[in-house]
């Protein structure tokens, strides 16, 4: 039986980096889904994003139009227009 050769340090580094990368990717995916879910269910949050980060909301609307729900942009615009009129 041959004795086990020790693993080079590079393999330990690669294995540790892969684990770290996997965890980081899972955290980023969870955060992205949380923001998407909140934007999808909360019109006031979309208004906050519209006022502070309009490019993010534009990407949200574009994705929605590709997936199939093309009425959200117009519904939000009408709702916010009526809110400004009532103020």
**In angstroms, rounded to a whole number, what is the distance separating the alpha carbons of residues 72 and 45?**
14
**In angstroms, rounded to a whole number, what is the distance separating the alpha carbons of residues 47 and 52?**
9
Q: What is the mean pLDDT of residues 1-16?
A: 76
pLDDT tens for each residue of 11-65: 888 899 999 999 999 999 999 999 999 998 999 999 999 999 999 999 999 988 8
**Domain limits, the chain:** 11-41, 43-86
Long-range CB contact pairs, 50-56, < 8 A, 24+? 50/76, 50/80
For 23: left if phi > 0, alpha if psi spans -120 to 50, otherwise beta; the answer is alpha
- Residue 42 phi/psi, 5-degree rounding, is -130, 105
């Amino acid at each position: 039986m041959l004795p086990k050769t020790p693993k080079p340090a590079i393999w330990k580094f690669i294995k540790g980096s892969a684990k770290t990368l996997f965890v980081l990717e899972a955290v980023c995916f969870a955060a992205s889904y949380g923001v998407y879910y909140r934007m999808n269910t909360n019109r006031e949050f979309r208004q906050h994003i519209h006022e502070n980060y309009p490019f993010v909301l534009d990407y949200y609307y574009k994705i929605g139009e590709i997936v199939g729900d093309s009425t959200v942009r117009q519904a939000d615009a009408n709702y916010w227009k009526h809110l400004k009129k009532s103020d």
